[in-house]
Structure 1
Amino acid sequence: MTATGATNLHDVLKAHVNEGPLPGVVALVARGDRTETAEVGSADAAGTTPLTRDSIFRIASVTKPVVAAAVMMLVEDGRISLDDPVDRWLPELASPMVVRTPAGPVDDVVPAVRAITVFDLLTFRSGHGFPSDFSLPAVAPLFSELKQGPPRPQHVAAPDEWMAKLSRIPLLHQPGEAWLYNIGSDILGVLIARVTGRSLPEFLAERIFEPLGMTDTAFEVPAGKRDRVPHYYRADGTGGLELVDAPDGQWSTVPPFPSGAGGLVSTADDLHAFAKMLLADGRADGKAGDKALLSPESVARMTTDHLTRPQRDAGTLFLEGQGWGFGGSVDIAAVDPWNVAGRYGWIGGTGTAAHITPSTGTVTILLTQLEATGPVPAPLLRDFWRYAS
């Protein structure tokens, strides 16, 4: 089922909500000074509360570009450099071991041939993370020890304990060798906190959220805003929905481990503010003369593909032929109607997506409360991208 014949954004969304089981969706498409938004459906499966433009969603992996931007701020501050070995601040990674072969047992290891750098973490080539094959022995501890997978903020250990667990899990590949998904951003969140001596929530609030007016973006939702948070569901396999999290659930208090890979909540307008900053080469309000949060050079590095062709091909389960910048994918060829060369951004496992296309000044943001069934974009997202292109 597609909505390719729809003439406006509301119709694109409504076709999918009507089909079910998706309860609702909020979307934004901006092209230059023109912004189109639409809100369809409900915040809960019972249909009692409509979604609104200011609904607060669990954005999951859409967190990653925000954390990458924060790292680049530290680079510009002179606190770190891209080539720095991270073991200066993360001693748990001082002597990493690597499985001899990716398919081999976790106790058949060799030393890493070089140190892990900031650049390795930003490009997801530190040796930590998920390959396309989840059955490899070294992948299992990522779920059991680090609680990777669908976000459960209150179930993850605090940063020091989490890093200690990470240090006991061998790398799947040598540093710089292969692209592996997700964990690089969680490590970057810990790195930011240790470099600055502040918590990740504090640093992001001061350096990104407050300057951009992202008033609803955080790692938790205060009591006074929880009426704007939709229930979060997953498909139950029979056409119905299973409740995963309620508005007063996992995101109602600051978690022990603020996940740089997937811990934030946000709104369509907050994410639009962040996107406009990137499109304006780092300027706070997207206008000439505004205070810059990032330099044009840092934005360019974030939104440029850094992978080799073999690395992109090996990560095809997640990347679908795309490249990877810092914290997000980079479309390197318009091979499908929804792929636009140069587009940067990422999708979240909670049913979210946010992208920019620098060449056209376009922003696309899609927010739902239905857990994704896998890394491949759902039909709704593909129809949304097709409409916005």
Structure 2
Amino acid sequence: MSTLTALLEKHVAEGAFPGAVALVDRAGEVEVAAVGSTEPAGSAPMRTDALFRLSSVTKPVTAAAVLALVDDGVLALDAPIARWLPELASPVVVRTPTSEVDDVVPAVRPITVEDVLSSRSGWGMGADFTAPALQPLFADVAVYNGGPRRAVSPDEWVAALAGVPLLRQPGEAFLYNAASDLQGVLVARAAGRPLPEFLAERILAPLGMTDTGFFAPAAARHRLTPYYRTGDGGRPVLADASDGAWATPPEFPSGAGGLVSTAADWLAFGRMLLAGGGTVLSPESVRLMTADHLTADQRAEGSLFLQGQGWGYGGSVDVDSTEPWNVPGRYGWVGGTGTAAHIVPATGTVTVILTPCGLSGPAFTAWMRDFWTYAVTA
């Protein structure tokens, strides 16, 4: 039994998840483990090619699509997004983060492509989930929270977003999640075709990511694991079955959390980043994507989501080594459906762990910390 298998089986025995797939690629030496089953007390063994809902591990892939358009000269980092999203040409901002939604001031400058890539657009989740300006974002604009997806078109989504005031001025603060959905709509508008089509053509197909998409097609559906949320007492409760919301194409392809994929496919994506972009991205785009763009104050304010990290484009960047798994320069992210994927440029390492059980909050779990520690220190 491999050490990685033993680590995962320990957490299966402790009830963290019924099964998992994990992968560690250390400069080309790959260790893969699939343990447990796809469901609690189930008889279907976990398989290495199992499909999982990536949740927020989607975010780096979406950011790469934006940067592909930057490389093409279609988008520019300093360009206002209103050129492609005219609905967002005149945003207003709540006077203070706790102000009511009608207590607003004009934005001091336009929202740029770089603001959206770095999650500093002004829309998104901060430390205070009760802020009045967040409530319409949750109620009218949120399309993905680990559960079934809402039936709303990208155009309808942008129209709804235009009616929500910014929580902070453009560029002022790191705010989580909404910017990645905004990236997905921006890609579709700038490319002139739906996000799934552009993503498949420019990112997925060149990398051989044949199992990645916004739903599980019929031929692959037997490999899609059910998804469980955490219920009372930590018990898993079925939230989406294999023939549920991810069995058909969504009306809104969520750039923040809509993809399904496998460990092998994300490995291909991670290797592309480690190789400087290959035929997919320019080295400069990869450098920008995997570099921290936040100030120290912005990192501190975003510490509910960032624990020893800054933020690049679509993922976190470790900036200190206060934890054994926290390696400066490590880039990637975690998903609320129980997923995580990272690269460590200094050592040429890719790490992926996929489970069918959702996280109960933004804090990193014990099993993630154990896996990361193993991956970067073993």
- The normalised TM-score by structure 2 is 0.98
User: Does residue 315 of structure 1 match 2:298?
Assistant: no
Distance 1:253 1:209 in 2: 19
User: Does residue 49 of structure 1 match 2:41?
Assistant: no
Aligned with residue 336 of structure 1, among 307, 313, 323: 323
Provide the aligned C-alpha RMSD in A.
1.2
Distance 1:191 1:312 in 2: 25
Q: Are 2:122 and 2:169, in contact at CA under 8 Å, matched by a contact in 1?
A: yes
Aligned with residue 236 of structure 1, among 231, 236, 253: 231
Whichever residue aligns with residue 16 of structure 1, its letter is H
User: Does residue 261 of structure 1 match 2:256?
Assistant: yes
Alpha-carbon distance, 1:147 to partner: 2.7
Q: Paired residue for 2:163?
A: 168
User: Does residue 38 of structure 1 match 2:33?
Assistant: yes
Tell me the secondary structure at the aligned position of residue 188 of structure 2. Answer: helix
Q: Are 2:308 and 2:321, in contact at CA under 8 Å, matched by a contact in 1?
A: no
User: Does residue 382 of structure 1 match 2:377?
Assistant: no
- Call closer, same or farther: CA 1:79–1:153 in 2, change over 3 Å: farther
Q: Paired residue for 2:339?
A: 352
* C-alpha distance after superposition, 1:189-220 (max 9, x if no partner): 00100111110000010111111110100001
Distance 2:2 2:220 in 1: 34
Matches within 5 A, 1:260-279: 260-279=255-274
Distance 2:121 2:136 in 1: 17
Distance 2:108 2:367 in 1: 44
Tell me the secondary structure at the aligned position of residue 106 of structure 1. Answer: coil
User: Does residue 247 of structure 1 match 2:247?
Assistant: no
* C-alpha distance after superposition, 1:272-294 (max 9, x if no partner): 000000000011xxxxxxxx211
Matches within 5 A, 1:295-310: 295-310=282-297
Matches within 5 A, 1:1-150: 8-148=3-143, 150=145
Whichever residue aligns with residue 353 of structure 1, its letter is A
Q: Are 1:21 and 1:235, in contact at CA under 8 Å, matched by a contact in 2?
A: no
Distance 2:252 2:205 in 1: 22
Distance 2:287 2:131 in 1: 35
Alpha-carbon distance, 1:47 to partner: 1.4
Alpha-carbon distance, 1:383 to partner: 0.3
User: Does residue 213 of structure 1 match 2:208?
Assistant: yes
Distance 2:103 2:234 in 1: 44
Aligned with residue 281 of structure 2, among 283, 287, 294: 294
Q: Paired residue for 1:280?
A: 275
Alpha-carbon distance, 1:239 to partner: 4.1
Alpha-carbon distance, 1:52 to partner: 0.6
Distance 1:147 1:69 in 2: 22
Q: Paired residue for 1:287?
A: none
Whichever residue aligns with residue 343 of structure 2, its letter is I
Q: Are 2:227 and 2:240, in contact at CA under 8 Å, matched by a contact in 1?
A: yes
* C-alpha distance after superposition, 1:1-60 (max 9, x if no partner): xxxxx9710011000001115111100000012000001111122312111110000000
Distance 1:372 1:140 in 2: 22
Runs (5+) with no aligned partner, structure 1: 1-5, 284-291
Q: Are 1:233 and 1:370, in contact at CA under 8 Å, matched by a contact in 2?
A: yes
- Call closer, same or farther: CA 1:149–1:375 in 2, change over 3 Å: farther
Aligned with residue 186 of structure 2, among 173, 191, 195: 191
Q: Are 2:144 and 2:150, in contact at CA under 8 Å, matched by a contact in 1?
A: no
Distance 2:133 2:92 in 1: 12
Alpha-carbon distance, 1:338 to partner: 1.3
Tell me the secondary structure at the aligned position of residue 284 of structure 2. Answer: helix
Q: Are 1:68 and 1:326, in contact at CA under 8 Å, matched by a contact in 2?
A: yes
Tell me the secondary structure at the aligned position of residue 63 of structure 2. Answer: helix
Distance 2:293 2:203 in 1: 24
Distance 2:238 2:147 in 1: 13
Alpha-carbon distance, 1:75 to partner: 0.5
Number of aligned residue pairs = 376
- The normalised TM-score by structure 1 is 0.95
Q: Are 2:115 and 2:170, in contact at CA under 8 Å, matched by a contact in 1?
A: yes
Runs (5+) with no aligned partner, structure 2: none
Tell me the secondary structure at the aligned position of residue 305 of structure 2. Answer: helix
Whichever residue aligns with residue 221 of structure 1, its letter is A
Alpha-carbon distance, 1:154 to partner: 3.3
Distance 2:101 2:71 in 1: 38
Whichever residue aligns with residue 29 of structure 2, its letter is R
